[in-house]
Structure 1
Amino acid sequence: MFNRNRIYLAIFIGLSGLALTACGGGGSLTKDSAETPSETVVTPPPIITPPATNDWQAGVFNPASNYINQCAIPRTGNDPYNENKPYPDKAGSEFTEKMWLRSWSNETYLWYDEITDKNPSSFATVAAYFKQLKTEQTTDSGAKKDNYHYSEPTVDFYKEAQSGVVSGYGINWTFIANTPPRILRVAYLEDNSPAANSGIQRGDTILAVDDVSIDINTQSGVETLNNVIFSPTAGESHNFKIRSNDGIEKSRTITAGNITKTPVQNVNTFSTKNNTRVGYMQFNSHISVAQQGLIDAINKFKADQVDELVIDFRYNGGGLLALSSQLAYMVAGPANTDDFYYYKTIQNDKQPIEQPLPFINQEIDYSTFEGKQTLLPDLNLSKVYVLSTSGTCSASEAFINGLKGIDIEVVLIGDKTCGKPYGFTPTHNCATTYYTIQFSGANYKGFGEYADGLTPTPSPQFLADVKGCPVADDFDHQLGDSNEALLSTALYHIKNDSCPLNAQSAKKKFSYASRAADGLELTPPKSLYNTNMDLTWLNKGKSND
């Protein structure tokens, strides 16, 4: 049973591939945002930074603690995200920041022995040095082994982690192609967002922004698209030329704002012709503010006495692993989860062995990361349907794998998931939050090797195969519509225990033969690929009993 005195703190990790869903249609939060506390403004103190001493020796590593918080530009004042305590920054240099990254990576990176130890002084910036502190090896499919290595301003981390607030329009995008001719469509909208209020809908295709064509192939044009679409500053207004599903072109001017994400949407119960009651919910992100929405949804499904449950994870890049465990418990209930664990971490050989994460049966106070006395509701189901795309990542994949580990039947409808069995603890240093892979995870049966994704198939053959139906995402219908391809396939499978005959052919094919050989790619900020969290063990200093 979950011990409320110790819990797992989940952390941000991410999406992969081109079929991405951008968080809120925007990137990092602006420093002059109305919601950004004035204390977070970085003001260089009037001190002289001491010269860096190059004490780098290849293969020789001092403890990371020797360099922590030694900053080229120390912050002054108090940290509003840490009980207004003074910032820990001390006078340092870019070299000391690089040396901290080097030692920290050597101590915690899952594949630390695959990092090439290069002289930090040979890199012009701290960011450039951090970028290469990772493995360059590939998976069995030839994909990069590590696609989840990035950093962001610490203030942006706290805003999204604590309140689900991001800067943008409230549009979550999906790339079908990101080189000319590009196809960028609206995946879903945040509730009551500027985009939703302007009449933008799921399925709309972007044609131009501020008269810059989506297919422009110059560096300056691509930078304009990247900035306006993915990284708008709150308060900026931009004009979007869009083609809707019915082929009608429309123009909308949208003002970016500080968007509060709505991770749980479209909660509904369907009754089939044979009186089977099917619960459905769209779950977009495992962030802390989702906890109450999930509890409310499960309570509704319990009151409706649902026989089956469909969870729409197609755009859920992950989030708090603890929240993922809570949801798994609420689906399966104590009869199916007692005496089993949900997730076991695998770290490098320099780290201590962690206790496995249990199926968490209590609410969590995510402001303190402690458990509450309140027990979670549950549906006591032995089967669950999950809708997926290549944007289904991390904590969402852990949900699938964790339930399979205790023989809860998971039926996967849609596309292969992104393949993200890894996690890390976001670590702060000198106003920047860093993410580097520090562990992988396995279920109760010891399986966690799905770096190339979990694959829906009517006839599973491999451990990473999941019983289900391959179906393409359907932008011609709104999410939650029983006629939408993934949901309708799930409803068919519930009735017939098989995939419809046209399920495989429903996967839409796109030809890339005409794409420009030297076409420039749109490149959303890396933070948009990394919206999910995993865990680190927190001991609150209380009894472990």
Structure 2
Amino acid sequence: MEGFRHATLLSALVLLSSCGGGGGGGSSSPATTWQAGQFADAGQFANQCLRPRSGNQYPDVAGSVLDENNWLRAWSHETYLWYDEIQDRNPGNYDNPLAYFDLLKTEAITASGTPKDQFHFTMSSDEWNAQSQSGVALGYGMQWVIVDPYLPRDVRVAYHDQQDRPDLPPRGARLLSVDGVSMEWSNDVDTLNAGLFPTREDEQHEFEFAYPDDSLHTITLAAETITSEPVQKVQVLTSAGGKRVGYMLFNDHIATAEKALLEAVEQLQQGNDIDELVLDLRYNGGGYLALASQLSYMIAGPARTAGQAFEISRFNDQHPQINPVTDQPLTPTPFYHTTLGFSVPASEPLPNLNLSRVFVLTGATTCSASESIINGLRGVDVEVIQIGDRTCGKPYGFYPTDNCGTTYFTIQFQGVNAKGFGDYPDGFVPGADDGQAGVQGCQVADDYDHDLGDINEARLATALHYIDTGYCPSPVSRHALGRSLTTPPIDDGRVHKAPWRENRIMTPAR
């Protein structure tokens, strides 16, 4: 699989990773100077490449695999959050830097039995730059949600990458087969993987779907370069009680989102001010932390955020005062009140809604930078009402770092809010507000029978009900609100995204 390498895909039976691998052994050059526990400065080995790139824009010089491995080892020791939990292995024993990097992380297991570090991955630098800056990626223009990875499997269309795509199967369409192979029952995971995640432009596959209206459709889709629209379905709704409620679907913290978020807030400001905002983050895995800060400012306004920290980054204990990536004194990420130059000219003032509370729709794919919005706003006493399901729990982040054409992502910091809270490795949970990971709100399953932004969609309908009444719908009263508020007959599932779209990403100061 081109692009990213990571460890977990759909299940043990479906979507077995074709990305991983690379083994040790066969040193490309003797490691005569390696001593366990002794580390040189990473700068001594940076940009010394077995296959240096050509062109003035690249700092690469001729080097070896050992140079690349030595850089990875030293850089990990300097910046990895849990550096003292890495087993120090001889870099000369590995002939593949990607395989060596896979080992440069903690092997600890959490109390729940999951790896402590699930967020360790790499991408081609060219692909990282293309996807993170422009939102361009290869695909069909829609995202899959894995509702149930076990037999009989349940995979559906979660949403479209672009708002106006009537040619694609609708949200909630259930995938029955790929190139004649049953999605529900087959063990032919190679065929299923190949169809779900194409690797070449114009690559074609045949899919059979059951649409939400129970009609069956067989269609052929061709992979294309897709420019995603990270902000969609911006609108002002009127609740049953007459409240003006803004709604926006925000799916990715990518560079193009800066312009889209600014325009969305300006749209919501047109006419009379809105009374409430419903921010739909259920499929937003994260991305640039600065964009989360900008959006949080645009929600809360200047009075609540002036002089306050949006997020404070805590690096490993070797760096209590200096950021090891930028070499600058540690300073909090503020609530940015101007544009930063991601996709609009820098230093222009941002609009704001000046709201004292916000309704956030969440699910298992709500991760990292999206969780920072919840945490950052709560840190300055903006009330957050969480509607949906538990978020994924990623209070960690990193600076993407290029070396020799590969961009490496290794956990480098934990983020905490202005009140010092950042301990939510199991996610934020809607229910009662306990001042920590428990957030005031309502537990509501995802609703694949309605489009996102539809007032009858379960999570949005619950938010509108709460706005009017101040409480979650009771099981008895749900019937009166329509079928959308009944518990869907499926679990929520998780949208499969590239790992860089499910993290908290820092960039050097702009």
Q: TM-score band, normalised by the shorter chain? A: 0.7 to 0.9
1:337-486 to 2 correspondences below 5 Å? 337-351=305-319, 352=322, 354-366=330-342, 371-372=346-347, 374-457=348-431, 459-461=432-434, 463-486=436-459
**Please, which moves more after superposition, 175-184 or 277-286?**
175-184
- Structure 2 vs 1, CA of residues 530 and 191 (structure 1 numbering), >3 Å: closer, same or farther? closer
1:8-407 to 2 correspondences below 5 Å? 51-76=29-54, 78=55, 85-191=56-162, 196-215=165-184, 217-218=186-187, 221-304=188-271, 305-351=273-319, 352=322, 354-366=330-342, 371-372=346-347, 374-407=348-381
**Please, which moves more after superposition, 409-418 or 173-182?**
173-182
Secondary structure of 1:345's counterpart equals strand
Q: Distance in 2 between matches of 1:265 and 1:15?
A: 30
Q: Distance in 2 between matches of 1:92 and 1:151?
A: 20
Secondary structure of 2:66's counterpart equals helix
Q: Is the 8 A contact 1:314 1:390 kept in 2?
A: yes
One-letter identity of the residue aligned with 1:376: L
Shift of residue 118, structure 1, vs aligned partner:
1.6
Q: Is the 8 A contact 1:152 1:527 kept in 2?
A: no
Q: Distance in 2 between matches of 1:64 and 1:216?
A: 49
Pick aligned residue for 1:535 from 497, 503, 506: 506
Alignment length (residue pairs): 476
Q: Is the 8 A contact 2:121 2:499 kept in 1?
A: no
- Structure 2 vs 1, CA of residues 117 and 50 (structure 1 numbering), >3 Å: closer, same or farther? closer
Q: Is the 8 A contact 1:13 1:394 kept in 2?
A: no
- Normalised to the residue count of structure 1, the TM-score between the two structures is 0.82
- Structure 2 vs 1, CA of residues 148 and 50 (structure 1 numbering), >3 Å: closer, same or farther? closer
- The gaps in structure 2 that reach 5 residues or longer are 12-17, 20-26, 323-328, 479-484
Shift of residue 119, structure 1, vs aligned partner:
2.0
Q: Is the 8 A contact 1:182 1:214 kept in 2?
A: yes
- The gaps in structure 1 that reach 5 residues or longer are 1-11, 20-26, 29-48, 79-84, 512-521, 541-545
Tell me the residue number matched to 2:325.
none
- Structure 2 vs 1, CA of residues 52 and 523 (structure 1 numbering), >3 Å: closer, same or farther? farther
Shift of residue 99, structure 1, vs aligned partner:
1.5
Could you report, residue by residue, the CA deviation over 1:150-192 in whole angstroms, capped at 9, with x for unpaired residues?
0011100000121110011111111112233221111100226
Q: Distance in 2 between matches of 1:157 and 1:469?
A: 36
Q: Is the 8 A contact 2:388 2:446 kept in 1?
A: yes
User: Within the alignment, does 1:491 sit opposite 2:498 as a pair?
Assistant: no
- Structure 2 vs 1, CA of residues 390 and 466 (structure 1 numbering), >3 Å: closer, same or farther? same
Shift of residue 13, structure 1, vs aligned partner:
13
Q: Is the 8 A contact 1:15 1:317 kept in 2?
A: no
Q: Distance in 2 between matches of 1:15 and 1:494?
A: 41
Tell me the residue number matched to 1:40.
none
- Structure 2 vs 1, CA of residues 276 and 17 (structure 1 numbering), >3 Å: closer, same or farther? farther
Q: Distance in 2 between matches of 1:13 and 1:273?
A: 48
- Structure 2 vs 1, CA of residues 401 and 342 (structure 1 numbering), >3 Å: closer, same or farther? same
Q: Distance in 2 between matches of 1:358 and 1:14?
A: 31
Could you report, residue by residue, the CA deviation over 1:22-44 in whole angstroms, capped at 9, with x for unpaired residues?
xxxxx99xxxxxxxxxxxxxxxx
Shift of residue 425, structure 1, vs aligned partner:
0.5
Q: Is the 8 A contact 2:252 2:501 kept in 1?
A: no
Tell me the residue number matched to 1:5.
none
Could you report, residue by residue, the CA deviation over 1:80-136 in whole angstroms, capped at 9, with x for unpaired residues?
xxxxx3422222222221111111100000000011112234445222211121112
CA RMSD of aligned residues (A): 2.8
Shift of residue 228, structure 1, vs aligned partner:
2.4
Give percent identity, aligned residues only: 44
Shift of residue 149, structure 1, vs aligned partner:
0.3
